[in-house]
Structure 1
Amino acid sequence: MDTPDPQAVCSPITSAAIFIVATLNAEAEAAEKVRDWCADIAGLTRSVGKRVPSGNLSCVCGFSSSAWDRLFGSPRPASLHDFREFGVEGRRAVSTPGDLLLHIRADQMDLCFELATQLMSALDGAVTVTDEVQGFRYFDMRSIIGFVDGTENPVGRKAEHFTLVGDEDQTFSGGSYVLVQKYLHNMKAWNELPVEAQERVIGRTKLSDIELDDSVKPSNSHSALTTITKDGEEVKILRDNMPFGRPGAGEFGTYFIGYARSPEPLEQMLENMFVGKPPGNYDRLLDFSTAVTGSLFFVPSADLLEELAER
């Protein structure tokens, strides 16, 4: 069998992105409209991207567990389920409504904006947007809190290995699971920390982006708790996080988006961060960052996405 072409999961990180999460409206016509729309996504992306061929425009579309059942029925991705909450009151990875995810990225925001406009226009009346974030590249790939983000991302064939479903679920090979969260940061409290203290929270040096030696890196640092191993091997995810914010409103945030071939490593990271490893030894970054959204989606291969229009 030919390997299905994936969606643009492993595309390079760009200078701009738009993240849209929406819920499916109740009317039967809404589901039919979304199914028909699945066959149009690739064409709309090509049409807009052709205006600036060097702009690296791409779009990834994913569906939640309940949306998959309503839109497409069986068969369904083997590991797709509702977002699982982790943590305790005041420090919790919350679950929020979301049936459909659009991850649009390019090296120019106007390309992202135009494609988002075209895609959402085609869905008029079928979905209700619950969250929309415009992200931007911040200096040399840094997050709003000043540290480089995504340093340990896998690249090339390793990126495909860690993000794309394979023989473990052949019907959905070439697909991917994606988890998204919107974090808001208390920048006043964060900036009051000395740089050395910030580095202990993250587990890396701030200027040079070098990982702290295990002899000095705290066990509750962000990098320590988000490094996942299974059977003695590190299991990676692909992050395409983007800063966002409204300085006039005092809003500063990070849109976390992580792709993997299974939800397992994504959820293990959240458990380590919000519950702790061991329990109580939680990610110190959460003293300054609050998750305000959370959803899990399955991204079908590009080939399957077009076929789903006929389900």
Structure 2
Amino acid sequence: MSSQRVPIEPQRVDVPLTCSATFLVVSVTSKPDAIQTVQSTLAGLDSLAKNVSIRDLSAQFACTVGIGSEIWDQLTRRPRPAELHPFREIQGKSHTAVSTPGDLLFHIRAERRDLCFEFERQLLDQLGDAVTVVDETVGFRYFDVRDLLGFVDGTANPVGPAVPSSVLVAEEDSSVQGGSYIVVQKYTHDLPGWKNLSAEQQEKIIGRTKLENIELDDAEDGQQQSHKTLNTIEDENGDEQAILRDNMPFGSPGQGEFGTYFIGYTRRLWVIEKMLERMFVGNPPGLHDRILDFSKPLTGTTFFAPSASFLASLESD
């Protein structure tokens, strides 16, 4: 009797950008039953999501969970993804990409804020004292998918058939096939300083026009490169490597807080790491991404989002 291969069902990493999102990073505690509680919760995540999403099926509710390097072995007892390791601090001449703790990431999004709120409430009720919250950031879609600096964000995202090949691990790492690496960074902006620049200066830093979102020509080699150019990564064959960004603005005008939560999904972690190296160190070294003069990273954490099938099997362990 021939055995049938169980299909791999990826998590919903390619959900269209929604009106609302919550980025929840937690650490697993040392409580005696903490690991078992987390395993059970992750295995039942799909049921919990259905319990919330049924209230409005048009709201495109989704939750993607990522597992950090420090907890992977203990939580999954499975082979580690080949590139999974803690976020590597990158120290440039003027700015530093900091590395901060976090065992689990829950990327919760929907067209309605109340659905994100309700899911997070039920999720944390289930997790109880098995976790402590490291960071909770509520993001929102700003006009025509712009960041608070005023530029369209995510223009270079892959679309359609290009998404899986850019985002999902394939046969090169079969034990975690269908999963995706995730890097998150929480940036706060110096909006007064940014607004002191002319539109032309801002466009030169970003590499696109502000109103029309038209790509500007790259600077010559050896000169100051734009944010767009520094984030364009090619492999050894000269092929451009895309990632999927689900960045969202966050902030509180009353408290003078304005920021962008960067979240990047990728099949190849080295691609995002190369982007960050070019931003913070510069290309050539010393000419860092000038957006960093106005945007400060407060966090930096790496996760791996295994397939939905992988998560569902955790409780059986």
Same fold (TM over 0.5): yes
2:313 aligns to what SS in structure 1?
A: helix
Which residue number corresponds to residue 226 of structure 2? 221
* TM-aligned CA deviation for residue 27 of structure 1: 1.9
Alignment of 1:198-237 (within 5 A): 198-214=202-218, 219-230=224-235, 231-237=237-243
Which residue number corresponds to residue 52 of structure 2? 48
Which residue number corresponds to residue 253 of structure 2? 247
* TM-aligned CA deviation for residue 73 of structure 1: 2.5
1:123 aligns to what SS in structure 2?
A: helix
* TM-aligned CA deviation for residue 2 of structure 1: 4.7
Which residue number corresponds to residue 103 of structure 1? 107
Contact 2:39-2:75 within 8 A present in 1 as well? yes
Contact 2:219-2:226 within 8 A present in 1 as well? no
1:5 to 5, 9, 12: 9
1:148 to 149, 152, 177: 152
Contact 2:97-2:300 within 8 A present in 1 as well? yes
2:128 aligns to what SS in structure 1?
A: coil
Contact 1:6-1:302 within 8 A present in 2 as well? yes
**What is the CA–CA distance in structure 1 between the aligned matches of 2:74 and 2:12, rounded to whole Å?**
25
2:287 to 281, 287, 300: 281
**What is the CA–CA distance in structure 1 between the aligned matches of 2:282 and 2:220, rounded to whole Å?**
19
Contact 1:15-1:106 within 8 A present in 2 as well? yes
Which residue number corresponds to residue 262 of structure 1? 268
Contact 1:23-1:129 within 8 A present in 2 as well? yes
- Is the aligned partner of 1:93 residue 2:97? yes
**What is the CA–CA distance in structure 1 between the aligned matches of 2:240 and 2:71, rounded to whole Å?**
32
**What is the CA–CA distance in structure 2 between the aligned matches of 1:297 and 1:18, rounded to whole Å?**
16
**What is the CA–CA distance in structure 1 between the aligned matches of 2:207 and 2:73, rounded to whole Å?**
41
**What is the CA–CA distance in structure 2 between the aligned matches of 1:109 and 1:299, rounded to whole Å?**
23
* Equivalent residue letter for 2:19: S
* TM-aligned CA deviation for residue 87 of structure 1: 2.0
Contact 1:183-1:253 within 8 A present in 2 as well? yes
* TM-aligned CA deviation for residue 176 of structure 1: 0.3
Contact 1:72-1:308 within 8 A present in 2 as well? yes
1:196 aligns to what SS in structure 2?
A: helix
- Is the aligned partner of 1:307 residue 2:304? no
* Equivalent residue letter for 1:279: P
What is the aligned-residue identity percentage? 51
* TM-aligned CA deviation for residue 84 of structure 1: 0.7
* TM-aligned CA deviation for residue 310 of structure 1: 2.3
**What is the CA–CA distance in structure 2 between the aligned matches of 1:305 and 1:280, rounded to whole Å?**
43
**What is the CA–CA distance in structure 2 between the aligned matches of 1:185 and 1:28, rounded to whole Å?**
41
* TM-aligned CA deviation for residue 154 of structure 1: 0.2
Structure 2: unaligned runs, 5 residues or longer: none
* TM-aligned CA deviation for residue 28 of structure 1: 2.9
With normalisation by structure 1, the TM-score equals: 0.97
| CA-based RMSD | 1.4
Aligned length: 311
